[in-house]
Chain A
Amino acid sequence: MSNPTKALIWLCWQRIRFPVLLVSMAILGMTTLMIVYLNPDQGVQAEQNTIIICAGIGVFILTPMCSSSVAGPGMNPTGVGFPLRAEFAFPVSSLRLSLVPYVFVSAVLYAVFLGSTGLLAAVFSHSMPHPLIHFIVLQYLMIVMAISWGCTNIWESFSLWIGLLVLFYLDWLLPDFSFDTQSGEFVAGSMGSLLLPGLLVIGALALMLLGIARQRRGDNLFVNVSEPAKNPIFYPFTLRLFKTPCPTSSSAAAWAWYQRQFRGPLAGAALGVLIGTAVVLVLTLSDLRGFWDDPIDLDAVSGFAFIFFCSVFVAHLATVFGVSYVNGAARTSTFERTLPMTTANTVRVRVGMAMLCLLIAGIAELLTIAILGPLLLENFAAIKAEFLQQLASITDTGMLYSGLRLVLFLCFAYILAVLYSVFITWFAIKPRLMTKGFAAFTLYLLLQLAYVVATTEGNDFIDATQSLGRIHSWVFAAVIVLAALAVLPRLVSNKVLRVSQALGLLAIGLLPMALNSVDLIYYEGVEQGSSLAGRMLRHAFGLLPLVSTALALWSQDQLRHG
């Protein structure tokens, strides 16, 4: 490394390379999957929108990941701002120390967006997305990074985010643009409208530089402190006011108390209220600003509620199996691993608490929207009526059917949460391997796409993709069944489960499969008119709760015993 700038860039790249590569692959893979396999007969405009949305979501998720990998909570126990305390001792100016990583990470993230949208537009022979979108993406990621690096504690960060909301409300944050639903393009009112948002980015940058310079001498962004700030954000929902004493009567109760501090019912309720409030506030502000052409409808509310819920739980579920980041490296707690408990019990409490937290958060979010909605949203009565009507269309079909759908919905949420937790855990522990795996999967999808594009035309393209879909349905169905057959015996041989426990788990795991099949055959009627492969895959989905549980047990066993 010939100079400090190159050394800082190298250090940043080491910290963000795996998330960047993984998310880039995910954007390419998921977009291809959605356009070619899931909705092969959609129009050009819909395809363009899919590309923009997938890339946008990818960058939306990646930005906080990267800003916290380089400088964020959990990296250092003494602060949540730019916590590279080791780097603080480098003989370089604060300007270079902060500006080099900032510019580099911004450039990399922007390259992810530009590269993925450009590549996909070229592959699908579309025009490049409108430049205004690029401006907004760049503005978003620069502001998020500036705030997360410049702030030293949760209160500073919170107040700056509130400030941003105010700017958004005053129409100063985003350029004056409109979205043409026909062409799918974003159109700026004038070039001058970009000036103010551009100046705000520069303001955020200045604030970050000030914050880092002050952190370097031990102060917060806004306040001089005599001692280094403690980390108040890492587990913000411990809710000490409602904290009960740790029970000493049984290890299971104590372990449940331990887990409850992070993802218990109270944490879930607090998160739910927070998310619900945020949803209503954002919708209200955007409505006041005239963002919506039509009155806000149920789709908008449920869409925002779902996105906010997911974005909070993306972080919340990442540590379910006890993996955390310290100094940029994933680690598991030796203390937790050496507690005298069976691995199965450890997982039962961990996953049980996480699911309870999710469930209560969902209910609390719904209730918060129901309470705050009438106060702030103009046409909330219509939204509520539409929601109740949709609910009634399910409940009117009978108690049995309603109950079945509820159970299947909960199973679906369980599968998503557990599989995501397992995936993110293994990505933390084996980032290189996981990135390679994801890259191989994406490459495979792109090669399939290239083959189909090269060998078919017009309607043949749709036939060819449907044929590929059938083949892959068989493969996915087989993978689900084989996963169950492979992991369960492994759990028995590793002594995670006794044979009787494994058989019990299998029996319980077959129940959702039976319910799923009942739903498919008697209620949805998918047995008619769909391919055999598709039907088999949808029946195999019923095994996923069992597979998820087995994978959770296997992952915890691997983490505990190396």
Chain B
Amino acid sequence: MNNHSASTVVEISQLSRQFGDTDALINIDLNLERGVVYGLVGANGAGKTTLIKHILGLLRCQSGSVRVFGEDPVARPEAALAHIGYLSEQRDIPDWMTIAEFCDFVHAFYPGWDQDYARELLNTFSLDGSKKIENLSRGMRAQVALIGAVAHKPDLLVLDEPSSGLDAIVRKDILNAVVRTISEEGRTVLFSSHLLEEVERLSDHVIMIQQGRILMDQPLELLGQSHHVSELRFSELQTTLPRIAGVLKTTGEGRSWNVVHSSSPEQLAASLETLQGELVSTRNASLEEIFIARVGRMESSSSESSGAQGS
């Protein structure tokens, strides 16, 4: 019996995964809602692809559970995958087919396949259906794989590093023309990327993952409002900045410092008063600044703790 919420597309509960001695995912709790574009960001090896593989049923849960449209994607892959369009980082599609054969083949698996939309995309990308996939460039392969992933109008579109190895024009085709179109139709998109500007431009919601844990899971708008970059000035020279609540990252020297912080500007200004400092200016932080501040902070704290263990 499927009792999942109608608006919830993916429900992940207490998901953990180990590869040998390495914890790839640790107690992940995550819900993806209908009609939202999710950007999944994290450093290399953070666990993004492992998380996506669990959603697609390519990995069995070692502990916890994953439900996609109320179905277990491992127990009933045919039911879960019927709702998903997936573009893998490797553009892993059969080389020996022609583009037209590939479209026909994928069509057979998805009753919702929209032949007109597929043809429209082929025209948009200037692809010749009679060409064999093995003769295509990397960018063209990505476009063909993308047609296979989106032409059946999936309820959930999963893109794993869609921009990897692509030039700016193909990237624009994929991200602007497709992701937005899909999400505007009330469908959900989950895409992982290293290109944070891209995530910032397209996402409604950001999931930041690091060392197998979800670091942040927030709407992009809230994320920008809750993180700021501020310029500080002190009356005395400072060799290192004193510890200030909410400050995630500091740069600067002497009297002038810049900080990325998750506290409000008012809270920061109050804290500065006791340190004989003042808040010169403040603005909302970009996703890249938040990512570097958060992930860098986590990495430095984990290396400190391992260093402490080592000593």
Q: Does B53 contact A (CB under 8 A)?
A: yes
Task: Report the minimum CB–CB distance from B268 to chain A (whole Å).
Answer: 46
Q: Mark B51-95, 1 if CB is under 8 A from A, else 0.
A: 001001111100000000000101111111110101010101111
**Cross-chain contact A235 with B96 (CB below 8 angstroms):** yes
Q: Is A333 part of the contact surface with B, judged by Cβ < 8 Å?
A: yes
A115 adjacent to chain B (CB < 8 Å): no
Contact present for B96 and A245 (CB under 8 Å): no
**Cβ–Cβ contact B76 & A495, under 8 A:** yes
Chain B residues whose CB sits within 8 angstroms of the CB of A258 once the complex forms: 94, 105
A429 CA / B176 CA spacing, docked (Å): 39
* Distance in angstroms between the alpha carbons of A102 and B32 in the assembled complex: 55
CB contacts (< 8 Å) of B56 on chain A: these are 338
Among A53-61, A192-200, A249-257, A531-539, the stretch in contact with B: A249-257
CB under 8 Å from chain B, chain A span 478-498: 494-495
B101 within 8 A of A: yes
Residue of B nearest to A235 (CB): B96
Contact status A334-B58, CB under 8 Å: yes
Given contacts A235-B96, A342-B77, A560-B77, contact A335 B104 (CB under 8 A): no
Cβ-based interface call for A343 (8 A): yes
Q: Which residues of A contact B308 (CB under 8 A)?
A: none
Q: Which residues of A contact B134 (CB under 8 A)?
A: 77, 230-231
A247 to B82, CA, bound (A): 18
- Complex contact A246–B101 (CB within 8 A): yes
| Measured CA separation A246–B95 after assembly (Å) | 15
Q: Mark A212-232, 1 if CB is under 8 A from B, else 0.
A: 000000000000000000110
Chain B: minimal CB distance from A76 (Å)? 12
Selected from A255, A257, A334, A343, the residue in CB contact (under 8 A) with B92 is A334
Over the window 248-276 of chain A, the binary record of Cβ atoms lying under 8 Å from chain B Cβ atoms (1 yes, 0 no) is: 11110111011001000000000000000
- A340–B110 contact, CB under 8 A? yes
B243 to chain A minimum Cβ distance, whole angstroms, is 44
Which residue of chain B has the shortest Cβ distance to A335 in the bound complex? B92
Chain A residues, CB < 8 A from B60: 561-562
CA gap between A560 and B77 in the complex, in Å: 10
- B171 lies within 8 A of chain A by Cβ: no
Measured CB to CB, the closest approach of chain B to A485, in angstroms, equals 22
Interface membership of A341, Cβ < 8 A: yes
Partner of A561, one of B57, B101, B108, B113: B57
> B79: nearest residue on chain A (CB-CB)?
A340
Compute how far the CA of A339 lies from the CA of B95 in the bound complex, rounded to whole angstroms: 16
CB distance from B159 to the nearest CB of A (A): 13
Distance in Å: Cβ of B216 to nearest Cβ of chain A: 27
A339 to B82 Cα, complex, angstroms: 8
Inter-chain contact A250/B90, CB cutoff 8 Å: no
Q: Which of A231, A253, A334 contacts B108 (CB 8 A)?
A: A253
Report A338 CB to chain B, min CB distance, Å: 5
Indicate if the CB atoms of B105 and A238 lie closer than 8 Å: no
Give the dominant DSSP class at A's interface: loop
Across the two chains, which residue of chain B brings its CB closest to A247? Answer: B108
* Set A339, A341, A562: member contacting B53, Cβ < 8 A: A562
List the A side residues contacting B93 at CB < 8 Å. 335
When the two chains form their complex, are residues B58 and A246 in contact, meaning their CB atoms are under 8 A apart? no
Q: Is B109 on the interface with A (CB-CB < 8 A)?
A: yes
Q: Are A257 and B110 in contact, with the CB atoms below 8 A?
A: no
A405 contacts the other chain (CB 8 A) = no
Size category of the binding interface on chain A: 20 to 34
Q: With a CB–CB cut-off of 8 A, which chain B residues contact A250?
A: 108
Cβ of B135 under 8 Å from chain A: yes
Complex formed: what's the CA distance from A245 to B82 in Å? 23
Q: Tell me if A337 is interfacial: C-beta within 8 Å of chain B.
A: yes
Complex contacts, A254 vs chain B, CB 8 Å: 104-105, 107-109
C-alpha spacing A248/B90, complex, angstroms: 25
Is A334 a contact partner of B74 (Cβ separation < 8 A)? no
Are A495 and B75 in contact, with the CB atoms below 8 A?
yes
Decide if B108 touches A249 in the complex (CB within 8 Å).
yes
Interfacial chain A residues near B94, Cβ < 8 Å: 258, 333, 335
Task: Tell whether, in the assembled complex, residue B58 and residue A337 are in contact, meaning their CB atoms are under 8 Å apart.
Answer: yes
Q: Which of B74, B75, B81, B95 touches A340 (beta carbons < 8 Å)? A: B81
B250 to chain A, nearest CB (A): 42
Q: In the bound complex, do residue B96 and residue A339 qualify as a contact, i.e. CB atoms below 8 Å apart?
A: no
Interface set, chain B 127-145, CB cutoff 8 A to A = 134-135
Contact A261 B96 (CB under 8 A): yes
- Cα–Cα, bound, A251→B111 (Å): 9
With the chains together, A402 CA to B60 CA distance in Å?
47
A251 proximity list for chain B (CB < 8 A): 108-109
Contacts of B104 in A (CB 8 A): 245-248, 254
Which residues of A lie under 8 Å from residue B80 when comparing CB positions?
340
CB distance from A559 to the nearest CB of B (A): 10
Cβ-closest chain B residue relative to A343: B77
B140 CB → nearest A CB, Å? 15
Known: A238-B96, A251-B108. 14 other contacts (CB 8 A): A246-B101, A246-B105, A250-B108, A257-B105, A334-B86, A335-B94, A337-B58, A340-B77, A340-B81, A343-B77, A345-B78, A494-B74, A495-B74, A561-B74
- Nearest 7 pairs of A and B residues by beta carbon: A254-B108, A495-B75, A340-B81, A246-B104, A562-B59, A340-B82, A248-B107
Please name 25 pairs of A and B residues whose Cβ atoms are closer than 8 Å in the assembled complex, sorted by A. A77-B95, A245-B104, A246-B101, A246-B105, A246-B108, A247-B104, A248-B108, A250-B108, A254-B105, A254-B108, A258-B94, A334-B92, A340-B80, A341-B78, A341-B109, A342-B76, A342-B77, A342-B78, A345-B78, A494-B75, A495-B74, A495-B76, A560-B57, A561-B60, A562-B60
